[in-house]
Chain A
Amino acid sequence: MGDQWSIADLKAWTGSLLGKYRVVAPVSGPNGPVWDEIRSPDDVVWEYGRSSVSPRAWMIPRSESLFSYDVGANSPEIVEPPIEAKPTIMLLLRPCDVAGLRALDCVMRWDYEDEPYEARRKATLFVALGCNAPPSPETCFCESAGLNPKWTDEADVMITRLPDQGGARYRVAVLSDAGRETLAGAPAELSDAKPDGKPIGTVPIDLDAARAWMRGHFDDPSWQKTTEACLGCGTCAFVCPSCHCFDIVDEGDWRRGERVRFWDSCNFDHFTQHASGHNPRPRQWNRWRQRVYHKMLFYPDKFGRLLCTGCGRCVEACPAGMDLIEILQGSAAKAKEGAAK
């Protein structure tokens, strides 16, 4: 079959990786696929749409110890945990999740070398799988966020699913030298052919218009109305592939304890709480607005890419029915109304 891979080929290749790499892939979880280390290619949910949570916990764990301290009899002792950085392959990442992980890079590798992150990142390869149809037609909007759901250049290996012909068929392309190494003993040939550029029909949003409107309307009174349902639970941030904010606390007592870094969310009221008691974002709608502005304007202004990949998980997961797509579409509509006037 030349450059066409069967599912058996993919499994054989995955099996060949298992000795050398820790392979993290979508496995079945109680509420849809989740990311976990696999022991066999049969653990992988090969036919999957979108994982219920993003894979970013494998780059920024939801909680990690930076060091522990113990005040002994005479002098305090500080112990840094060994940095774990097993060679890892993230298998079957959707292009939106690759974009999310790349967005973490911009922050975590920006002005300071974060040792644990850097070690994990350097040891990790991304193997992506393109989407030929939106996994969630009501909430996927990656094309509006400027991504190509069928292809990403930001992975190390790119897998494309072809139309079925007596079973699933795939094409595998190499995008980096590190990716090429993983394919040394590949069971079938590689191919550079890219899929066609036809859109797959994710939810349309005129994001340029929405962002243009937002730029001049930070203080627009409508923000209060459009974001009033937000509970402040942080679920959107915890399922997001590109959210990266963390908190650091010392847990324990004066005798012994740990400095822990763990996920935070700008939707929590104490996120911006000052020690004085003053909170510059006192209301929930201030916090929600911050989230949208950070994703759509502040971060792009700094790093030249969106902090949103259009994966739609926040829309799906919000317990209060908040809908980022609706808010962005609304902003775009307001931009057009403004232009018409």
Chain B
Amino acid sequence: MSSEAQKQPESWQPRILAFVCRWCTYAGADLAGTSRLKYPPQIRIVKLPCSGRIDPLFLLRGFEMGADAVLVSGCHPGDCHYMTGNYYARRRWVLFRELLDFIGFDMRRIHFSWVSAAEGAKFVDVVKKVTDAAREAGPFPGFAPPADRPPDVIGASRAEGGNGSKSAVPSTGALSADLSSGAVRGVLGYVEGRRAGVLRPAWATDADEVVRLRFTQDAQPSLVTYLVRRLREEPEGTFGILAGPTEAEAIRILKAESQIDPERVKVYEQQGAPSASAGKEPWEIYGVPSPDRPVEERWAFWTAQFARCLRCNACRQGCPLCTCNRCVADKTRPRWIDASPSPAGNWIWNVTRAFHHAGHCVDCGGCTAACPAAIPLGALNLHLLRAAERDFGPRPEGEAGQRSPLVSYRLEDEAPFIL
């Protein structure tokens, strides 16, 4: 990337897109203008109500449409016209940068700042810095993998999971009693199919079916996915689910987010060992480049991974926490993310999916297991989970701890990269 920049002629000018809040930064830019202050003219400003409204997807679309760098700017902490919008924005920026840096995005192309309505001079200063950095980075190369065409592969064999060699038979007394008394309409577990060791999710509705249920912590896909679907399809009734620690955590999160009605779910807790990823970093588990590797290597690795994506959305279908009724990938007015497999659309989809679960993921491995293109998606989520712990501290205990880092904030959150 940097070598390309060196090839640029002197006359080349970066295209810079700025998303700013209307109350502070836009007024600051206005002040710079009325004060006749000069700054590099390559910047194009998009005004939004609040920095809290600036979805990272806007930034990615900006790059797709030809920007070489992006600036996001809002009111200083404490100054938000809507009281707290910029506190949410700050957390979002922290985790979004963690994700982009992890996958080798050139961080000279993405900048954040606080500029108040009185800081015309600071706005000039910020624009100069951003323009210099963008010029140094050179033209944005696009989202296609840099090297040769990646293998056109849909690797159908998948990562571990899905096989219940260690599957246990749950104790069925309570389940049968609840089913026969009508306390629950069905109990969700796994059953073994025709092929030995291959489990699939199934609902048991009577005592005969209960004895076929199996459970294993490693099985895929997560049972919680099926629980959410059933609760939405049937407006009444209580449903049971066999749940190990991962499923139980996902259920607690969904309850806290009002995605499932606590009254309608009965959890039958199953023994489970601590997650295999406990205390480990994503590169130790998934073999992806660690943040110590050169940025070019990370970019080459992840663009090649995303280029394989089929846009089947299996990652979403297999995720117990993907519960949006209408996913951003399916929205058509406007169409936010290209529906067909293309380098830009694939990259933006995969980054957006990972980011939506920043610090929110329960690390069940469902996305990786479901991906027919064998993209190590879980590494992105695990990295964000670890990053959220590092940046914002461990999730608080109890109900508050079930709120995703993206929908909460602390006044003391740190973001030293903000200009």
List residues of chain A with CB under 8 Å of any chain B CB.
Answer: 29-32, 34, 36, 52-53, 57, 62-63, 138-139, 225, 228-229, 231-235, 238-239, 247, 249, 251, 260, 262-263, 265, 268, 270, 283-284, 313, 316-317, 319-323, 325-326, 329
Question: Is the pair A231, B162 in contact by a Cβ cutoff of 8 Å?
Answer: no
Question: Is the pair A262, B339 in contact by a Cβ cutoff of 8 Å?
Answer: yes
Contact partners of B220 in chain A: CB under 8 A? 319-320
Chain B proximity of A312: nearest CB distance (Å): 11
Question: Is the pair B154, A325 in contact by a Cβ cutoff of 8 Å?
Answer: no
Question: B38 interface residue, CB < 8 Å from A?
Answer: no
Q: Which residue of A lies closest to B229 (CB)?
A: A284
Number of A-B contacts (CB under 8 A): 138
Given A229-B202, A322-B200, also A234-B339 (CB < 8 A): no
Question: Is the pair A283, B233 in contact by a Cβ cutoff of 8 Å?
Answer: yes
Contact partners of A323 in chain B: CB under 8 A? 193-195, 198, 200
Contact partners of A234 in chain B: CB under 8 A? 312-314
Q: Which residue of A lies closest to B371 (CB)?
A: A319
New A-B contacts (9) at CB < 8 Å, excluding given A29-B155, A32-B157, A238-B312? A29-B153, A34-B152, A52-B157, A229-B226, A231-B225, A231-B317, A319-B369, A320-B221, A323-B198
Question: B350 interface residue, CB < 8 Å from A?
Answer: no
Chain B proximity of A42: nearest CB distance (Å): 17
Within 8 A of A (CB), among B320-357: 330, 335, 338-342, 345
For A265, give its contact among B194, B225, B312, B369 (CB under 8 Å): B312
Question: Is the pair A231, B318 in contact by a Cβ cutoff of 8 Å?
Answer: yes
Contact partners of A32 in chain B: CB under 8 A? 155-157
Question: B175 interface residue, CB < 8 Å from A?
Answer: no
Question: Is the pair B154, A238 in contact by a Cβ cutoff of 8 Å?
Answer: yes
Question: Is the pair B162, A247 in contact by a Cβ cutoff of 8 Å?
Answer: no
- Interface size bracket, B side: 35 or more
Cα A24 to Cα B68 with chains together (Å):
39
Question: Is the pair A31, B374 in contact by a Cβ cutoff of 8 Å?
Answer: yes
Cα A20 to Cα B195 with chains together (Å):
45
Contact partners of A36 in chain B: CB under 8 A? 151-152
Question: Is the pair A321, B155 in contact by a Cβ cutoff of 8 Å?
Answer: no
Question: Is the pair A313, B201 in contact by a Cβ cutoff of 8 Å?
Answer: no
Question: Is the pair A317, B151 in contact by a Cβ cutoff of 8 Å?
Answer: no
Given A233-B372, A238-B372, A320-B200, also A263-B310 (CB < 8 A): yes
Question: B370 interface residue, CB < 8 Å from A?
Answer: yes
Contact partners of A325 in chain B: CB under 8 A? 194
Cα A249 to Cα B372 with chains together (Å):
23
Question: Is the pair B202, A228 in contact by a Cβ cutoff of 8 Å?
Answer: yes
Q: Sorted from nearest, which 4 A-B pairs have the closest CB atoms?
A: A31-B155, A321-B200, A233-B314, A262-B340
Contact partners of B151 in chain A: CB under 8 A? 29-30, 34, 36
6 inter-chain pairs at a CB distance below 8 angstroms, sorted by A residue, are: A34-B154, A229-B202, A234-B312, A238-B310, A249-B335, A320-B221
Contact partners of A265 in chain B: CB under 8 A? 312
Chain B proximity of A249: nearest CB distance (Å): 5
Question: Is the pair B374, A235 in contact by a Cβ cutoff of 8 Å?
Answer: no
Q: Which residue of A lies closest to B339 (CB)?
A: A249
Q: Which residue of B lies closest to A325 (CB)?
A: B194
Q: Which residue of A lies closest to B340 (CB)?
A: A262
Question: B203 interface residue, CB < 8 Å from A?
Answer: yes
Q: Which residue of B lies closest to A313 (CB)?
A: B156
Contact with A along B132-168 (1 / 0, CB 8 A): 0000000000000000000111111110001000000
Q: Which residue of B lies closest to A53 (CB)?
A: B154
Contact partners of A52 in chain B: CB under 8 A? 153-157
Q: Which residue of B lies closest to A61 (CB)?
A: B152
Question: Is the pair A319, B162 in contact by a Cβ cutoff of 8 Å?
Answer: yes
Cα A32 to Cα B157 with chains together (Å):
8
Q: Which residue of A lies closest to B209 (CB)?
A: A225
For B342, give its contact among A30, A225, A251, A329 (CB under 8 Å): A251
Cα A313 to Cα B200 with chains together (Å):
17
Question: Is the pair B153, A231 in contact by a Cβ cutoff of 8 Å?
Answer: no
Given A29-B153, A31-B156, A247-B339, also A231-B330 (CB < 8 A): no
Question: Is the pair B312, A233 in contact by a Cβ cutoff of 8 Å?
Answer: yes
Chain A CB within 10 Å — which of B152, B318, B340 has the most? Answer: B340
For A319, give its contact among B152, B158, B338, B341 (CB under 8 Å): B158
Question: Is the pair B153, A233 in contact by a Cβ cutoff of 8 Å?
Answer: no
Question: B241 interface residue, CB < 8 Å from A?
Answer: no
Question: B43 interface residue, CB < 8 Å from A?
Answer: no
